[in-house]
Chain A
C-alpha cells in the first residue's frame, strides 16, 4: 500500500517537474521587423517551422512601420529596452548595439564565406571579426521606366551607356507627347542621390577617409536635380512638399502611370509585381551614366542580433536556422529579393514569379552589382553615412523650393555634417 502511494506521489511529482521544466524552458524572442512587400509573411512561415522544431523557443514578430526602425529603435536600443533581433537598414549606424554571434552559432566559417563582404557593413570601425547578422536583402538603386508610355509615344528607350541627360531628354519627350504629369521622379533620399553623384565624379571622402560630401561631382548632379525641378522634369510636390530628411517615395505615382521614369531600387520589384502586374510594362534599366561611372548605390536590410538580449544561445540557434541556405533560398525566392548570400547569388535563386518584368528587373539589378563604384561601397560601409545622406537631402530640398541658394545649401551641408559628427565624437 505504502509503495503504491509512494509511486503515485512520485509520478505526480515527476509530471509536475516536467510541466514546470517545460514552462521554465520556454524562451520568447522578439524580432522587430518592417515590410516592403510580403517578407513578413515569409519570415513568419520560417519562424513557425523553427518553433515547431524547437518547441522551447517562441519568436514574436513585431511588425512596425519603417519610420519606427529609423527613429524609435535606436532610442529603444540606447535605453537597453530593444528587441532580441531586428531588421535594420542603418547597418553601421547601430553597430554598437549588435551582438557578436560568433560564440553562439554552429559554423562561423559558413557565415564568413557566404556573408563575408557584407559583415563589415555591420561592424564598428576597427572590428574585423564580429558576426552580427546577415542581409535579408541586398539592394541596388536604379531606375524603372514605364516602357508602355515609350511605346505609345513612339520612342525608343535610350540604350546602354545613356547618360542622365539623355534620359532626362527622353522622358520629357514622352511626357510631352502623352501629357504625363511627372516625367521623372526620384525617391527623396540621400542614398538615392549618392549613386548618380558618384557617377558624376563625387568622391564622398577625402584622402584620409574623412567625409567630404561637397565636390564638383556632387555639384554636377545636384545642379541637375535643381534644374530638373525648375524646368518641370521633376515634380516639386515630391521633394518640395516635405521638409528635413523625410523620405518620400514616388512608387504610388509610378504605379498609377503618372511617372515616366522612377529612380528607386531593387526593393520595389515585389511591390510592383503585385500592384502593377501586367497593367503596363514597368521596366528596370541600368543605372544611367555620368562622367565618372554608371553606378547605383548598394544597400539593403540586415537581420541583426542585439547585444542586450537575455537569450544569446537561443538567438544563435535561430540565426543558424534563418541563415541556412535552405531557409534563405526560400526567403529570397518568395520575396523576390536580391540575395545577400554569396552561395545563393552565384548558384542562382529560383524566384517565385512568372512575371517577365519582375524577372527582368531582378536580372538587371543583380547584373548591376559589378558596375557599382568602389566609392559607393565605401559610402555604404561608412557607419555615419546617414549623417551625409540627411544633410544632402534636407539642404538640397530647401534649395529646390527656393529657401536658400544652391551655394548656401552646399555650405550648410558641410556645416551640418561637421556639427553632427562633432556631437557624436563627444561621447
Chain B
C-alpha cells in the first residue's frame, strides 16, 4: 500500500501555473492600484479593449471622415487634395430628392431608395418570420432539435455560398425554372425583372439570416417564467391575450436587439446581393454599400473621397436610426 504522501494531487498541479501567473500579475496590479486607487481600477481593466476598439474602429472612422474632405485618386491621405465639403455637396445636389434623376449623383440616390425599400420589407418580414418560428420551436413538437438545427444551418454558410446556391436555383436554366417547365408553366427570367430581383434579394437575405434572429428570440422565450403562463391559464386567459400581454412584453428586450441588429445589417447589405444579382437589372438592386464599393474601387478613377463621403452619410443615418429606436423603447418603458 502506497503512503498518502505519494498520491498525486491533480488539482494542485493544474493550479500551479495559474497561481504562478496570478502572483506575477499581482505585483504590477498592486502597483497600478496604488497610483490610480481602487476606483480607477475598472478603467485599467477596460484599457485593452478600448485600445483595440480605438485602433480598429474609432481611428478608421476619423480617417474615413478625413478622406471625405479630400479629392483626387491618391491613396495616402498626405498626398490627397483638400476639397472641404465638395464631395458632400456633389452627393446632396438634387433638384427634387424624391426623383433620383434630378440629382447630380443619381446612382447614390437610387442606392438610398433601393436600400430603403429593401430594409422596410426585409426587416419587417425577418422579424415576423423569426418570431413565428421561435414561437413554434419553443413548443413541445416532435423533432424540435432537428428543426432548430435546420433553421440555424443557413447562418453557418458564407454569404457568397448562399448567393451562389440561390443563383443556380433561379437562373434561366436553374432548378426553379426547370420545375416551372415541368408543371407546364413558362420560364421566368428572375434577374431581368426589377421586381423579381428585389423580391429574391429580400427572400434570400431573410432565408440566410432568420436562424440567427430566431435563436435570440428563442432564448428570450425560454427565459419567460413558466409560472406566469400557468397562472394565466388558471385564470382562463385566452391564448391571444397571453401572447399580447405576457409573451410579447417580456420578449421585448430581445425583440429590440433583433430589430436593431436586423436594421443595421439590412442597411449594410452587400455581399449576398452583389453575388446574387450584381445590383441589377440596371440598378434595381444596387444598394448604398454597393454604390460606395463601385465608387471607391471598380471605376478606373477610384474616387475614395466620394465613397468616403457616402459612407459617412450612411453612418450618420444608421446612428440616427439607432437613436430613434432607443428613444422609442425608453418612451415605451417609461410609459
Residues of A at under 8 Å CB distance from B? 70-71, 74-75, 78-79, 90, 93, 181, 236-237, 240-246, 248, 384, 386-387, 390, 397-398, 400-404, 408, 412, 415, 420-421, 423-424, 426-427
The answer to whether A75 and B75 have CB atoms under 8 Å apart is yes
Q: Which residues of A contact B298 (CB under 8 A)?
A: 70-71, 244-246
C-alpha spacing A75/B299, complex, angstroms: 12
Q: A246 — which chain B residues lie within 8 A by C-beta?
A: 278-280, 298
**C-alpha gap A75/B293 in the complex (Å):** 13
Known contacts A384-B301, A387-B300: A423-B281 contact under CB 8 Å: no
- Whether B106 lies near A412 (C-beta < 8 A) is yes
Contacts of A423 in B (CB 8 A): 71-73, 301, 303, 305-306
Set B72, B194, B297: member contacting A71, Cβ < 8 A: B297
The CA-CA distance from A71 to B74 in the complex, in Å, is 15
Knowing A78-B74, A427-B74 are in contact, say whether A90-B279 is a contact too (CB < 8 A): no
Query: Quick check: A404 and B101 within 8 Å, CB to CB?
Result: yes
Q: Is the interface of B mostly helix, strand, loop or mixed?
A: loop
A420 and B300 contact, Cβ closer than 8 Å, known pairs A240-B281, A244-B286: yes
Q: How long is the Cα–Cα vector from A400 to B281 in the complex, in angstroms?
A: 9
- Contact check, A242 vs B279: say whether CB atoms are below 8 A apart: yes
CA distance A398 to B283 in the complex (A): 7
Give the CA-CA distance A242 to B278 in the complex, in Å.
5
Whole-angstrom distance between the Cβ of A342 and the nearest chain B Cβ: 28
B294 contacts across to A, CB distance below 8 A: 244-245
Give the number of residue pairs across the A-B interface with Cβ within 8 Å: 116
| Smallest CB separation, B219 vs chain A (Å) | 39
Size class of the contact patch on chain B: 35 or more
Q: Find chain B residues with CB under 8 A from A398 CB.
A: 282-283
Contacts of A71 in B (CB 8 A): 297-298
List residues of chain B with CB within 8 A of the CB of A420.
Answer: 299-301, 303
What residues of chain A lie closer than 8 Å to B303, measured between beta carbons?
A: 420, 423
A241 contact from B101, B280, B286, B290, Cβ within 8 A:
B280
CA distance A246 to B285 in the complex (A): 14
Give Cα A318–Cα B297 distance, bound, in whole angstroms: 31
**In this complex, what residue of A is CB-closest to B306?**
A423
**Residues 73-102 of chain B, each 1 if its beta carbon lies under 8 Å from chain A, else 0:** 111100101010000000000000000010
Contacts of A401 in B (CB 8 A): 192, 194, 280-282, 284
Q: When the two chains form the complex, which single residue of B76, B191, B283 contacts A403, counting CB atoms closer than 8 Å?
A: B283
Q: If the complex has contacts A74-B302, A93-B300, A427-B81, are A402 and B74 also in contact, measured as CB distance less than 8 A?
A: no
Closest to A388 in B: B300
Query: Is there a chain A Cβ closer than 8 Å to B308's Cβ?
Result: no
A219 nearest CB across to chain B (Å): 20
- Expressed in whole angstroms, the minimum distance between the Cβ of B107 and any Cβ of chain A is 8
In the complex, whether B130 has a CB less than 8 A from a CB of chain A is: no
Q: How far is the CA of A236 from the CA of B81 in the complex (A)?
A: 42
Could you jot down 23 A-B contacts, CB within 8 Å?
A: A75-B75, A79-B76, A93-B300, A240-B282, A242-B278, A242-B281, A243-B279, A244-B286, A245-B294, A245-B299, A246-B278, A386-B300, A387-B300, A390-B299, A397-B282, A398-B283, A400-B282, A401-B284, A423-B301, A423-B303, A424-B301, A426-B81, A427-B79
Residues of A within 8 A of B148 (CB): none
In the bound complex, residues from chain B placing their C-beta under 8 Å from that of A400 are 282
- Complex Cα distance, B83 from A240, in Å, reads 36
Q: Which residue of B lies closest to A415 (CB)?
A: B104
Least Cβ–Cβ distance between B42 and chain A, in angstroms: 40
Max chain B CB contacts within 10 Å: which of A78, A387, A397, A412? A78
Contacts of A404 in B (CB 8 A): 101
> Are A387 and B192 interface neighbours, CB within 8 A?
no
Q: Is the CB of A237 within 8 A of B282?
A: no
**Known A90-B300, A390-B299, A421-B301: A243·B282 in contact at CB below 8 Å:** yes
Q: Is the CB of A240 within 8 A of B280?
A: yes
For window 167-199 of chain B, which residues contact chain A by CB distance below 8 Å?
172, 189, 191-192, 194
A240 CB contacts on chain B under 8 angstroms: 191-192, 280-282
The 3 closest A-B pairs by CB, nearest first: A243-B279, A242-B278, A386-B300
- In chain B, what residue has the closest Cβ to A398? B282
Q: Which of B75, B277, B302, B306 contacts A242 (CB 8 A)?
A: B277
A387 & B191 in contact (Cβ 8 Å cutoff):
no
20 further A-B contacts with Cβ under 8 Å, apart from A240-B282, A241-B280, are A78-B74, A79-B76, A93-B300, A237-B172, A240-B191, A241-B192, A242-B280, A244-B294, A245-B298, A246-B278, A246-B298, A390-B300, A397-B282, A401-B282, A401-B284, A404-B101, A423-B71, A423-B303, A426-B81, A427-B79
Residues of A with C-beta under 8 A to B305: 423
CB distance from A386 to the nearest CB of B (A): 4
Q: Which of A245, A248, A424 contacts B72 (CB 8 A)?
A: A424
Q: How far is the CB of A397 from chain B (nearest CB, A)?
A: 6
A243 B81 Cβ-Cβ under 8 A: no
CB interface residues, B 264-316, toward A, < 8 Å: 277-286, 290, 294, 297-303, 305-306
Q: A310 → chain B, closest Cβ, in Å?
A: 20
CA distance A412 to B100 in the complex (A): 13
* Cβ-defined contact, A408 with B101, below 8 A: yes
Taken together as a complex, chains A and B put the C-alpha atoms of A401 and B295 apart, in Å, by 21
Q: How far is the CA of A99 from the CA of B135 in the complex (A)?
A: 65
Closest to A427 in B: B72
List B contacts of A386 (CB < 8 A). 299-300
Q: Quick check: A79 and B75 within 8 Å, CB to CB? A: yes
Q: How far is the CA of A75 from the CA of B75 in the complex (A)?
A: 8
**Are A244 and B279 in contact, CB atoms less than 8 angstroms apart?**
yes
Contacts of A415 in B (CB 8 A): 104
Docked CA distance A248–B192 (Å): 14
Contacts of B210-263 to chain A: CB distance below 8 A? none
Q: Chain B contacts of A93 at CB under 8 A? A: 300
What residues of B have a CB within 8 angstroms of the CB of A74 in the complex?
A: 302
Closest-by-CB residue of B relative to A70 is B298
- Please name all residues of chain A whose beta carbon is closer than 8 Å to the beta carbon of B281 when the two chains form the complex: 236, 240-243, 401
> Given A243-B280, A423-B72, do A237 and B301 touch, yes or no (CB 8 Å)?
no
Q: Report how far A421 CA is from B71 CA in the complex, Å.
A: 12
The interface residues of chain B lying within 8 Å CB-to-CB of A248 are 278
Q: Closest B residue to A72 by CB, please name it.
A: B297
Q: Is the CB of B280 within 8 A of A75?
A: no
Q: Whole-angstrom distance between the alpha carbons of A70 and B300 in the complex?
A: 8
Residue of chain A at shortest CB distance from B296 = A75
